Chain A
Amino acid sequence: MKAPLSWIKEFVDIDLPLAELAHLITMAGMEVEEVKFIGLPMPAPGTLDAKVTGLEWDREKIVAASISEVLPHPNADRLTLCKLFDGEREHLVLTGAPNLFEFKGIGPLAKPLMVAYAKEGAQIYDGHAEGLVLTTLKPAKIRGVDSYSMVCSEKELGISEEHEGIMFLADDVKAGTPLADVLGDAVIEVNLLPSFARCASILGLAREIAAITGKPLKLPKWDEQPPAGKADFCTIEITEPKNNPRFTAGLVRNVKVGPSPEWVQRRLKMYGMRAINNIVDATNYAMIELGEPLHAFDYDKLLKRAAGKPVKIITRAAKAGEKITTLDGIERKLDPFTTLVCDEAGSLSMAGIMGGLETEVTEDTTNVLLEGAVWNMINIRKTAKAHNLNSEASYRMSRGVHPAMAERGQRRCLEFMRAWAGGEVAPGLADAYPLPAIDPAVEVTEKDVKRWLGIEIPALQMAELLARLEFKVEVSGTSVKATCPDHRLDINEGVVGKADLVEEIARVYGYDNIPEMRMADTLPPQIGNPVLVKEERVRDLLVALGLQEAISYRWSTPEREAKRLSPDAEQDNKPYVKIANPLAYEKGFLRHSVLASVLDVAERNARIRERLAFFEIGPIFLAGEDPGGLPDELKRLAVVLGGARSAVGWQAADTGAMDFYDLKGVVNGLLQGLRLNDVKYESGEHPSYHPGKCAHVLVGDKQIGVMGELHPKVKGNYDFPTTFKAPVLAAEFDLDLLIELVPPLYQTVDVPVFPPVIEDLAFIMDEELTAEKAEALIRQTGGKLLADVKLFDIFRGEQIGAGKKSLAYKLTYIAPDRTLEAAEVSTMRNKIIKRMEHEFKAKLRG
């Protein structure tokens, strides 16, 4: 909402500097987004907390001037020379303004033309440039005539886009007056939140300013028209009062359609609307001033449609298949919920949104029927959305207008039409008001204010604060009964109404004036969030293991996610949760796989880093049992590794490519860190992985995830640079399950007091025997005294025969209560050797 300062000042006196005023408006809930200066002095940078634009007019160099005669230019048809007096001396000023042609060569003017005059050195906008380009007037010769100053258009002064001709001032302005004193203004643009619908008008803003600055509000006169009498020009029938609580109509006869007064046009333009003609301008002006959208019909066209019968206005819902051509020339198919203004011949306009083309006011209109009505905001919003039609009317009607404003806007606008377009206002107002507004009366007490705000405000002061916003207030003891004024719809009944009033009290009192007090309330039960604690532990462990955390978009596409699966394997056939209104197809599906997200991350970074190590924790989304219900949100952990084991530096380091066992180191580090016992890795298969390099990870008998080297075809699905030859390792875990399995506590063992006995044993065994089985047997046989078994070498070669491998272990024996004897250890060793031979045919390597 844009509001020219001069217009606001019609309703409230303002003696604050603009920066301070803007601050107060912002603090009261209507954020000032921009202040556009039109001539007035601009504040120092940083002193006004909003975007500051516009042009300050030099008081010496930009002044009012009078033109007494318009002379032809000796060498150019399209230029004129004006005999101009600037209050000090007379100049001959060159101009090409087409709106001076009618005065050219007719000799001295009977009545001088008052114009805006910029002298040499004045800074104005270049009227011929695209957009706003500042320029300083310098002497020049145009077609042989000296030119150093100019008569200005609105665009050149930053008032509007208008550059068709020069601007005229009121006749009573004195030549030489600084133009800033005549037209200087500032347009304040505020961001109106839905609860401030009442402020979508100059009067509404002025009311708030009056309340927060403590100045009286000067209400406009809205009882001048129409003359008393019975309205005989039309009847009104409202079929659905819920959608049309009130409809008023007035009539002005014998108007002369033409341009509005200059000042009216200028204000409309400052607000941001075009000036059309005095009738349309009157409806717009009244709407901006009071917030009530109005619509003018050509009454003669209505009479013609009625074909001799009296004019009858009917408001109703659109019929099936009904269409209307609106003012903008577009034929619109109407939904059955759309509310229409009709007569007995059919539809006239889309109620509260836009008028119809057929009955619009034109140059030839002489009799005008004026509609001032209110409509249901939900209904209007629905229609406006369906047609993507955001008009000034629908903006207000879809936020709610009080029915009392229909009458006020009607009366005010009739007077504007009379004043600006002549004619006579017909007596009486046709007024159908089947659903009268109920203005809630709410009782609010000092205790309520204390309970919500934490401060004590005496009832009398509460009443005074509310009265500034035109609430009708009655004080009794510590209680105030406040009745909502009949221009707003945002105050409720009951306890919500109390909250509404407390907010209004706090706003006018000033949030700044409410002190800060720390909570002294009862503490809540301490419940904790063990799932989050464990999830954060997972993050910490993976970071400690050298991985970078990623967080991705939750959306993807089935095609993009299918890249994580080998084309030969079974595909992901689970239905996707789809966004009904995605910004783009690429953002249209909620992901099924966090692994797919992390693979995308790895792919993106493979060009900039030689080592990739990422993880992500987040939800995947699967359609639930009920396709119309909420999807399942399941938490997953995905890990991706690839490339150099260590970063490349200038010294030799292990920069070989990471392989399955690097991944296993990470996975094992994580699971050990989570104190998960009974972890098993079983050779397995999965559509993402190399069939020989894939493991299912189990805790007990529960599978928590799958890990492996990406299937070469899967790696090929991603755009890794050709230089990135290393395999890509990946794992994905069911984090919900994993977290469930993490024990809340774990036990430690004592630090050994007695020295360990350490010895190496190597066994030659069949290739098929897994390391896991071999180690399990050694551990089982060693029992409690065998504290640790560490594999430190694997050897294959001719010496030990084909199909064989040698695994070398470092065994650590410790007794908690004594130093072990050599004989004890040797007995144990022999037992191990014997069992390995017996169970696995594994021979001790000499």
Chain B
Amino acid sequence: MAEENVLQELEDALVNGLEELKSIANEETLLAWRYKYLGKNAVSKHAFQNINKLPTDLRQLVGQTANRVRVELESALAERSESIKESALAASIASEKLDVTLPGRPLTPGRLHPDTQMLRELYRVFGEMGFQVYRSREVETDEYNFQLLNFPVGHPARDMQDTYFVEAGERGDNPIVMRTHTSPGQVRSMREYAATNPENPPAIRLVLPGMCYRYEQTDARHETQFDQIEGIAVGEGITFSNLKATLSDLARRLFGQNVRTRFRASYFPFTEPSAEFDVECFLCGGKGCAVCGGGWLEIGGCGMVNPNVLRNGGYDPERYSGFAFGLGPQRIAMLRYGINDIRYFWENDLRFLEQF
């Protein structure tokens, strides 16, 4: 073979190789190209293998040329290979496009009943304010439900709480009733605390949650079985202004930091002074709307524990004072979530429960 031919072959291989590489678009063709231009039969490989057959003066030139051709082809290959991988990935990504609007796999999470959720929120807020939870029975005696709470037998105040009676034989003035409020727990808890130290009964800060019952027809606003949470604080320096602060703090926690509260004079046999506790409507900002009417929402009743009740609980009213208040967790939930019918709560229709 002529020496010039070797050099020309090398240069041709370079030009042809680069030219062919341009049109290669997949890994397989690339492999074939590699075999052809960089494999063991490639021109550059031959040049090296046969270098000793060349005249001495040409050996260096051919060696250098073969090396240059090889390096250039290798680097072109690397570049091409990278670009082919990139476009393959791009094509694959393009082909994998999902319809992200299709629904996700349906999971079936469990849920707490909305009333439980509401109660837990109240426990948490009250807990931070130092009130612990105290629960007591739902079927009560007239004595605990009424008499010890300063509702004497036959008193007109009893008309405020229409009562379910339980069949229990002749018990005279002390029939068994479905509790009409959680307040029997006031006397029960006071007696329990006072029993620990009758001479110096300890201070009390409790919330009393639970189911209550009133003998009335149900409609969207009235339920004959409903939930209540009541708070009581007893100590040697508890005042009405403490009551106002406690309930205003509660309102801010439940309804927003800027919400205003108001206390209207009212009457409950077991508190004196008594008040209704209203919160500025958080739905309309107090401007007045279909829910609140005049800008205020009635949230609950409250007052200073009546001296008779303190005495019945074992606390000397000359020394101790206390406040008590009652709220409706269902009412709060109804206001917050726009629930239009209180009967939804105990009907347990999943279409209601799943919204919480």
Contact = CB atoms under 8 A, between A and B. Distances in A.
A503 B274 contact: yes
Contacts of A51: 293
Contacts of B113: 549-551
B215 A544 contact: no
B338 interface: no
Nearest to A30: B265
Contacts of B166: 577-580, 590, 631
A455 interface: yes
Contacts of A546: 108-110
Contacts of B108: 546, 611, 613, 646-647
Nearest to A545: B110
B134 A452 contact: no
Contact of A649 (B105, B202, B241, B267): B105
Contacts of B206: 524
Interface string A446-457: 000011111100
B8 interface: no
A615 to B, nearest CB: 8
B304 interface: yes
A197 B236 CA distance: 33
A578 B167 CA distance: 6
Given A378-B155, A546-B109, A605-B350, A455 B264 contact: no
Chain A CB within 10 Å — which of B135, B139, B239, B248 has the most? Answer: B239
B111 A454 contact: no
B8 to A, nearest CB: 65
Contact of A512 (B239, B263, B307, B347): B263
Nearest to A618: B211
Interface in A527-558: 527-529, 532, 536, 539, 542-555
A516 B134 contact: no
A258 interface: no
B137 interface: yes
B346 A499 contact: no
A520 B205 CA distance: 12
A618 to B, nearest CB: 8
A521 B203 contact: yes
Contacts of A146: none
B324 to A, nearest CB: 13
B255 interface: no
A377 interface: yes
Interface stretch (B23-31, B56-64, B156-164): B156-164
Contacts of A519: 130, 233, 235, 238, 242, 245-246
A604 interface: yes
B169 A627 contact: yes
B189 to A, nearest CB: 10
Nearest to B240: A453
Contacts of B273: 452-453, 499, 502-503, 506-507, 511
B308 A543 contact: no
B237 A499 contact: no
A511 B103 contact: no
B226 to A, nearest CB: 11
B264 A511 contact: yes
Interface in A194-226: 194-197
Given A523-B203, A523-B205, A529 B249 contact: no
A382 B308 CA distance: 24
Given A512-B262, A528-B132, A518 B242 contact: yes
Nearest to A611: B108
Contacts of A454: 239-242
A451 B296 CA distance: 30
Contact of A601 (B170, B235, B293, B348): B348
A216 B235 CA distance: 40
A633 interface: yes
Contact of A551 (B107, B156, B267, B346): B346
Contact of A647 (B107, B169, B237, B269): B107
Interface stretch (A41-49, A86-94, A105-113, A671-679): A41-49
A269 B54 CA distance: 136
Interface in A135-194: 193-194
A635 to B, nearest CB: 10
Contacts of B225: 553-555
Nearest to B120: A536
Given A548-B110, A649-B103, A496 B308 contact: yes
A27 B116 CA distance: 33
Main secondary structure of the interface of B (DSSP, over half): mixed
Nearest to B129: A519
B92 interface: no
B306 interface: yes
Contact of B248 (A29, A516, A581, A583): A516
A455 B241 contact: yes
B103 A398 contact: no
Contacts of B180: none
Contacts of B159: 194
Contacts of A553: 225, 346
B238 A605 contact: no
A628 interface: yes
Contacts of B165: 579-581
Given A499-B306, A500-B272, A579-B165, A633 B240 contact: no
Contacts of A498: 307
A579 B154 contact: no
Nearest to B306: A499
Given A27-B264, A496-B308, A536-B120, A516 B106 contact: no
A29 B265 contact: yes
B340 interface: no
A630 interface: yes
A194 B157 contact: yes
B264 A549 contact: no
B111 A583 contact: no
A520 B116 CA distance: 31
A194 B160 contact: yes
Contacts of B103: 649-650
B345 interface: yes
Nearest to A527: B132
A50 interface: yes
Contact of A193 (B115, B245, B266, B348): B266
A496 B115 contact: no
Contacts of B262: 27, 511-512
B81 to A, nearest CB: 38
B67 interface: no
Interface in A553-592: 553-555, 577-583, 587, 590
A629 interface: yes
A549 B116 contact: yes
A547 B110 contact: yes
Contact of A31 (B104, B211, B264, B350): B264
Interface in B259-311: 262-267, 269, 272-276, 287-288, 293-296, 304, 306-308
B44 interface: no
Interface of A: 26-29, 31, 45-46, 48-51, 193-197, 377-379, 381-382, 398-400, 450-455, 495-496, 498-500, 502-503, 506-507, 511-512, 514-529, 532, 536, 539, 542-555, 577-583, 587, 590, 601, 604-605, 608-609, 611, 613-614, 619, 621, 627-631, 633, 646-651, 653
14 contacts: A27-B262, A451-B239, A452-B240, A453-B273, A496-B272, A499-B307, A514-B241, A528-B132, A549-B111, A579-B166, A583-B218, A605-B349, A614-B348, A630-B176
Given A378-B152, A542-B110, 14 more contacts: A46-B288, A49-B293, A193-B266, A195-B157, A495-B307, A499-B304, A499-B307, A516-B241, A522-B235, A523-B205, A548-B110, A549-B113, A554-B225, A604-B347
Interface of B: 102-113, 115-116, 120, 130, 132-135, 137-141, 152-157, 159-160, 164-171, 176, 178, 193, 196, 202-206, 211, 213, 215, 217-218, 224-225, 233, 235-242, 244-246, 248-249, 262-267, 269, 272-276, 287-288, 293-296, 304, 306-308, 317-318, 321, 345-351, 353-354
